[in-house]
Amino acid sequence: MTFNDLNLNTPLYNALDDLGFTTPTPIQAESFNVVAAGKDVVGIAQTGTGKTFAYMLPILKNLPFSKQDNPRVLILVPTRELVVQVVSEIEKLSKYINNRVLGVYGGTNINTQKQAVAQGQDIIVATPGRLYDLAVSRVLQLKSIQKLVIDEVDVMLDLGFRHQLLNIFDILPERRQNIMYSATMTKDVDDLIVDFFKKPSKIAIAVSGTPLENITQVRYDVPNFYTKVNLLEALLKDKEVFSKVLIFVAYKKMADRLFDQLEDLYPGQSCVIHSNKTQNYRLRSIEQFREGENRLLVATDVMARGLDIEGVSHVINFDTPDYPENYMHRIGRTGRAEKKGQSLLFSTAKEQEGLERIETLMQMKIETLEIPEEVTISTELIEEERPQIRERNNPTKRRDEDAPGPAFHEKKEKNKKENLGGSYKFKIAAKYKKPKTRGDKNYNKRNKKK
**Tens place of pLDDT per residue across the chain (450 aa):** 789 888 899 999 999 999 999 899 888 999 999 999 999 998 887 666 788 999 999 999 999 998 888 999 999 998 888 899 999 999 999 999 999 999 999 888 999 999 999 999 999 999 998 999 999 998 999 999 999 999 888 777 766 788 888 889 899 998 899 999 877 666 777 888 888 888 888 887 755 555 567 889 999 999 999 999 999 999 999 999 999 999 999 888 999 999 999 999 999 999 998 878 876 788 888 889 989 999 999 998 766 666 678 889 999 999 998 878 778 878 888 887 667 889 999 999 999 999 999 999 888 999 999 999 999 999 999 988 888 766 666 555 555 554 555 555 566 666 666 655 556 566 666 666 655 555 555 555 555 555
Q: Which of 213, 219, 179, 220 is nearest to 196 (CA)?
A: 179
**Is there a domain that residue 417 lies in?**
no
Give me the residues paired with residue 177 across strands.
147
Give me the residues paired with residue 163 across strands.
none
**Is there a domain that residue 410 lies in?**
no
CATH code of the domain covering residue 84: 3.40.50.300
Among 346, 363, 385, the domain-final residue is 385
199 and 233 share one domain: no
Q: Which pLDDT score is estimated for 48?
A: 66
What is the span of the domain harbouring residue 59? Answer: 3-204
167 and 20 share one domain: yes
**Is there a domain that residue 392 lies in?**
no
At 272, phi and psi to the nearest 5? Answer: -140, 145
278 and 239 share one domain: yes
Q: Which pLDDT score is estimated for 431?
A: 67
163 and 32 share one domain: yes
370 and 248 share one domain: yes
Give me the residues paired with residue 271 across strands.
297
151 and 298 share one domain: no
**Is there a domain that residue 199 lies in?**
yes
Among 141, 174, 204, the domain-final residue is 204
At 231, phi and psi to the nearest 5? Answer: -65, -40
33 and 159 share one domain: yes
Q: Are 320 and 355 in contact (CB under 8 A)?
A: yes
192 and 288 share one domain: no
157 and 244 share one domain: no
Q: Are 49 and 339 in contact (CB under 8 A)?
A: no
Q: Which of 116, 193, 198 is nearest to 153 (CA)?
A: 193
**Is there a domain that residue 357 lies in?**
yes
197 and 223 share one domain: no
**Is there a domain that residue 396 lies in?**
no
Q: Which pLDDT score is estimated for 301?
A: 77
> How many other C-beta atoms lie within 10 A of the C-beta of residue 14?
14
Instruction: Tell me the C-alpha to C-alpha distance, in Å, between residue 115 and each of 121, 142, 274, 279.
Output: 11, 16, 29, 20
Three-state SS annotation for the chain: CCHHHHCCCHHHHHHHHHHCCCCCCHHHHHHHHHHHCCCCEEEECCCCCCHHHHHHHHHHHCCCCCCCCCCCEEEECCCHHHHHHHHHHHHHHCCCCCCCEEEECCCCCHHHHHHHHHCCCCEEEECHHHHHHHHHCCCCCCCCCCEEEEECHHHHHHCCCHHHHHHHHHHCCCCCEEEEEECCCCHHHHHHHHHHCCCCEEEECCCCCCCCCCEEEEEEECCCHHHHHHHHHHHHCCCCCCCCEEEECCCHHHHHHHHHHHHHHCCCCEEEECCCCCHHHHHHHHHHHHCCCCCEEEECHHHHCCCCCCCCCEEEECCCCCCHHHHHHHHCCCCHHHCCEEEEEEECHHHHHHHHHHHHHHCCCCEECCCCCCCCCCCCCCHHHCCCCCCCCCHHHCCCCCCCCCCCCCCCHHHHCCCCCCHHHHHHHHHHCCCCCCCCCCHHHHHHHC
**Edge-first strand listing for the sheet containing 41-44:** 101-104, 123-126, 73-76, 147-151, 177-182, 41-44, 201-204
239 and 341 share one domain: yes
Q: Are 289 and 297 in contact (CB under 8 A)?
A: yes
Q: Which amino acid is at 270?
A: S
Q: Which of 32, 132, 10 is nearest to 74 (CA)?
A: 132
Structural domains of the chain, count: 2
